[in-house]
Structure 1
Amino acid sequence: MANSPSGDSMLDRLVRILDSFDAKTQSLSVSVLARRADIPVASMYRLLDSLVEHDLLSRDASGQVRLGLRLWELANRSAATQDLRTAALPFMEDINQLLRQNTQLSVLHQDEVLIIERLSRPGSVVNQANVAGRMPVHRTSMGMALLAFSRPEAIRDYLSRHQAIMAATYPDFRAEMAEIRRTGYATFDGFIDPETTGVAAPILDDAGYQVAVISVVLPRQTRAVQSAGLALRTAARGISRALQPGGSA
């Protein structure tokens, strides 16, 4: 795509604009969006007209800018995500009914946990996971379950990029990984919220490496952590089978 006067491509600018939004920042003024995307305000106004016209962004009566519905449509056409969600939803519903807590489906993407589905539950504990939101690997049971069952080279690469923070959080990282692999699920108390415990089990491919993770967040003082882990592990195996050619939920 053609470069702007500053030398960056139009595609670069579009990506920076879309990346300016996150789960906690769902609307922005044009001036703030321009600053976050590092685009001159005058250029931002010109780009905004085209993006609104194509429904990639929307603008309300007050001038605030949001992501457009067309992005949601495009994201939901992703074959890989669609197949995973379709296979996982029956098992997520079972876990949601059994444990009576919000249930998440997530993947490891760009060194973060990306939430791709969540089933809510009235009366459940505080849960920071939102669909399309991202969470840190080292502070979530989801992330650590995904990391523990990643390919060895992927683990090495991740550690090379985050060596300091992982060493500070897990003095004995190898033992942590070994325990998660032994039990088949990860649990962490109060890393994101002091009153909760996260429990997560990886969904594995034929070679035994993660493709996603199913998880719940429980009250921290519950005695149901082990039973939740076993239930999630069973659900994860069911999802793995459903993802195989000819598999069914």
Structure 2
Amino acid sequence: MEHTTQRGGRPPSGEPVLDRAFRLLDAFSDERPILTVTELSEATGIPLSSAFRLAQHLARRGALERQPSGGYMIGLRMLEYAALAPRGHGLRAIALPYMEELHRATRQHVQLAVREKDEAVIIERLSAKDAGAVLYYPGGRAPLHGTGVGLVLLAHSRPEFLAAYLQQELFLEPEHVPLPASELSETLGAVRRTGLASMSRTLPSAATSIAAPIFDRTGACVAAMSVLGADGSVDATRLEPALLALTRVISRDLKRVATTS
């Protein structure tokens, strides 16, 4: 994320405190779950003294937790707030029993994701011990064009959003392979026709993901559910009909709850 700075790397003097606090929170990632105040300052461009005060305030509120080493990590208070988000919590409650059924049947990773701006956010995942490495964790953000759930969400996004997205220079990660817009557009057309998205990767280990959409009562795609497994462990012939059937049942239940609430 880019930030406007003044001399000495200082952020604009008029930047709201809340914006700076969120910039501190944005600095954390799966790769960097614990950061010192110095690292927070360097990552955000916020002066060291200000970063120190903000981190202390956030820790007192439970948004950050200070470690014995002196570093900070995201606090459990943030998980409590996330659990209250209707777009994740209500959907998750409806989908979870069906995810568990699919998880037992496939013994693979089963994921549920929603779109937030130009990324997919994983709101739930049931993991399998021998299903291979995962790149994105619950609460984590994944590229729309480089994941099974992301392709589903992108394929069913508004035309103006999709047109703008295709204008970007896109790469498939972690291989860092260029993805031409024409190729992605063709893939998204197939996702809309079949109701399914399939995505394979080679790093950090070969894996395949198959995903399907979940619709609300207006017909909008509000989520995607996928099965992710080590290469060769996902039987698409058997999995695809089951995945489609379950996502349709979740869509039906989601519409039913919306109608009666």
Query: What TM-score, normalized to structure 2?
Result: 0.85
C-alpha spacing 1:222/1:58, structure 2 compared with 1 (3 Å): closer
C-alpha spacing 1:123/1:6, structure 2 compared with 1 (3 Å): same
Alignment of 1:60-99 (within 5 A): 60-99=67-106
Tell me how far 1:112 sits from its aligned partner: 1.1
**Aligned mates of 1:26, 1:125 — CA distance in 2:** 22
Tell me how far 1:194 sits from its aligned partner: 4.6
**Aligned mates of 1:131, 1:246 — CA distance in 2:** 24
The amino acid across from 2:246 in the alignment is A
1:8 paired to 2:10: no
The amino acid across from 2:200 in the alignment is D
Match of 2:187 in 1: 176
Alignment of 1:27-106 (within 5 A): 27-106=34-113
- Unaligned residue ranges in structure 2 (runs of 5+): 1-10, 172-177
Contact 2:208 2:234 in 1 (8 A): no
**Aligned mates of 1:152, 1:173 — CA distance in 2:** 14
Q: Secondary structure at the match of 2:170?
A: helix
Cα deviation digits, residues 26-45 of structure 1 (max 9, x gap): 11011001111211111122
Match of 1:236 in 2: 247
- Unaligned residue ranges in structure 1 (runs of 5+): none
1:165 paired to 2:170: yes
**Aligned mates of 1:179, 1:5 — CA distance in 2:** 46
Quick one: which of 113, 118, 122 aligns to 1:115?
Answer: 122
Match of 1:225 in 2: 236
Tell me how far 1:227 sits from its aligned partner: 2.1
The amino acid across from 1:117 in the alignment is E
Query: RMSD of aligned C-alpha atoms?
Result: 2.2
Select the structure with the greater relative contact order (CA < 8 A; seq sep ≥ 6).
1
C-alpha spacing 1:223/1:34, structure 2 compared with 1 (3 Å): closer
- Range with greater deviation from structure 2 (69-78 or 226-235): 226-235
The amino acid across from 2:179 in the alignment is T
Tell me how far 1:193 sits from its aligned partner: 4.4
Tell me how far 1:65 sits from its aligned partner: 0.4
Quick one: which of 206, 213, 218 aligns to 1:202?
Answer: 213
**Aligned mates of 1:195, 1:117 — CA distance in 2:** 22
Tell me how far 1:207 sits from its aligned partner: 4.2
Contact 2:122 2:141 in 1 (8 A): yes
Quick one: which of 126, 129, 139 aligns to 1:132?
Answer: 139
**Aligned mates of 1:216, 1:12 — CA distance in 2:** 36
Match of 1:20 in 2: 27
Match of 2:149 in 1: 142
Moved over 6 A (4+): none
Tell me how far 1:94 sits from its aligned partner: 0.8
